[in-house]
Amino acid sequence: MAEFNEWKPFIAMITVDFSFSIVNILLKKVLDEGINHLVLITYRLSISALFLGPIGYFWERGSRPKLTFRISCYLFLSAIVGASLTQYFFLIGIQYTSATFACAFVNMVPVVTFIMALPFKMETVHIKSNSGKAKTLGALVCVAGAILLTVYRGAPLFNHSPDRAATRAMDHGLKLSHARRAERWTFGCIALLAGTLLWSSWFVLQSHIGRRYPCQYSSTAILSFFGAIQSAVLCLSTKRSLSIWILKGKIEIITVLYAGMIGSGLCYVSMSWCVKKRGPVFTAAFSPLVQIMAAMLDVPVLHEELYLGSLLGSIFVIIGLYILLWGKNKEMQNHATRVAQEAEEFKEQEPPVQVITVSFDSRRH
C-alpha cells in the first residue's frame, strides 16, 4: 500500500496530461469552427464551478478552513493567472498555430516554474555541485529549445493526400498571403509565450495557496467561479452581440462539457493535490507528455502539419527538462543522505544513558 501511495502522484499526472491532450484537440476543432474564445472559457469555467462546488461542499465539509478575505484574494489572483487569462492566450495560440505546437510551448513550463521558484526559496541551486550544474544546464538547453520553437518553423514532415490538403487550404483561406500567415504564426507564438509565463506562475502561487487552504475541490471550484466572472466581464466589454453565446452543434456542447468538468475541473484538482504532495516543479515536469499524446491524436485525426522546427525545438526542450529533473533528483538524494548522516552524528554525540541500580536487602532485621 505504501508503494502505491508513492506512485499516486505519477499516475495522477499521467492521467491529467492525457486528459489535457484530448481537451487541446477538441478546442482546436471548435476554434476552427468559429466559437468565441472568451465565450468558450466562460462556459468551461462555469461548468467546472458547478461540477466541483457540490463535491467540495460535502466532501471537505469537516476539514475545510475558514475562507478569509486574504485567501479569497489569492484565489482571485490564481483565477487570473491560472484560468481566465492563461486559457485565453493558449486558445489564441492554438488557433493561430496548432494543438501540437501549443503543447510544445507547454514543455517550457517546468523550467520557467523552476526559475520563478528560485526567488521564493522553493528551489535552490548550488552551482559548484553536480546537481546545481545539471539544473543550470537543463534550464539553458530548455530556453534554447523554446527560442528555436519561436523563430524557426521549418518544412512540414508529413504529406497529406491532395484532396485533404485542398480541403485544409480552403478551410484556412487561400487568399491569405505568405506574409499574413507568418504574421498569424508569430502572433500565436507570442500568445503561447504569455500563456506559458502565466501558467508557470500559477504553479508557484498554488503552492502557497495549498498551505493556507488545503482543500483541492473547494479551492478549484472558487477559482473556476472567479475565472468565469472575469472571462464573462471581459467578453461582454469587447463583444456586445448575444448571438455569440449560443452553442452550435454537438461538438461544441461536448467540448464545453468535457473541458469544464475534466479539463478545468478534475485536472486542476489533481494538479493542486500534486503540488501539495510533491511541489510545483514536480507537477509541472509532466507537461511534455501532453505534446506527445496530443501529437499522436493531432496529426492522424485533425491532419495538422508537424513542422521540423517544432520537432527540433521540442527535442531540445525535453532534453533540457530531464537534465533539470536529473539534477533535482540528485539534489534530493544528497539532501536525504546529509540528513541521515547528521542524525547519525547526533546520536553518536549523545552521552550514554546511565542506569542506576538500587539494590534492596530482602532480609528483615
| Average pLDDT of the chain to the nearest whole number | 79
With H, G, I as helix, E, B as strand and everything else as coil, classify residue 81.
Answer: helix
Structure-model confidence comparison of residues 319 and 346, the more confident one? 319
Q: Which residues contact 191 (CB under 8 A, 6 or more apart)?
A: 89, 90, 92, 93, 96
Least confident of 126-135, 246-255, 329-338: 329-338
Give the Cα separation of 49 and 47 in Å (integer).
5
Q: List pLDDT tens digits, range 74-83.
A: 999 999 998 8
Q: List pLDDT tens digits, range 174-194.
A: 445 667 777 788 888 889 889
Q: List pLDDT tens digits, range 29-39.
A: 888 788 888 89
User: How confident is residue 228, by pLDDT bands cut at 50, 70 and 90?
Assistant: very high
Query: Are 160 and 168 spatial neighbours (Cβ–Cβ below 8 Å)?
Result: yes
pLDDT at residue 305 tops 70: no
Give the DSSP letter of residue 364. -
Q: List pLDDT tens digits, range 261-304.
A: 998 888 888 888 888 887 777 777 777 667 667 766 666 665 66
Query: What pLDDT score was predicted for residue 160?
Result: 54
Cα-based distances in Å from 200 to 197, 300, 327? 5, 30, 20
pLDDT at residue 345 tops 90: no
pLDDT at residue 246 tops 50: yes
Q: 307: which strand partners?
A: 156
Q: Which residues contact 160 (CB under 8 A, 6 or more apart)?
A: 168, 303, 305
- Tell me the whole-structure pTM to 2 decimals: 0.70
Question: Which range has the top average pLDDT, 177-191, 205-219, 310-324, 326-340?
Answer: 205-219
Cα-based distances in Å from 131 to 138, 139, 252, 327, 329? 10, 12, 47, 4, 8
Cα-based distances in Å from 289 to 15, 108, 191, 268? 10, 12, 21, 16
The alpha helices in 241-307, defined as continuous H runs, are 250-258, 267-278, 280-284, 288-297
Structure-model confidence comparison of residues 359 and 210, the more confident one? 210
Is residue 42 within a helix (H) or strand (E), and if so which, with residue range?
Answer: helix 37-59
Q: 156: which strand partners?
A: 307
Amino acid at 75: L
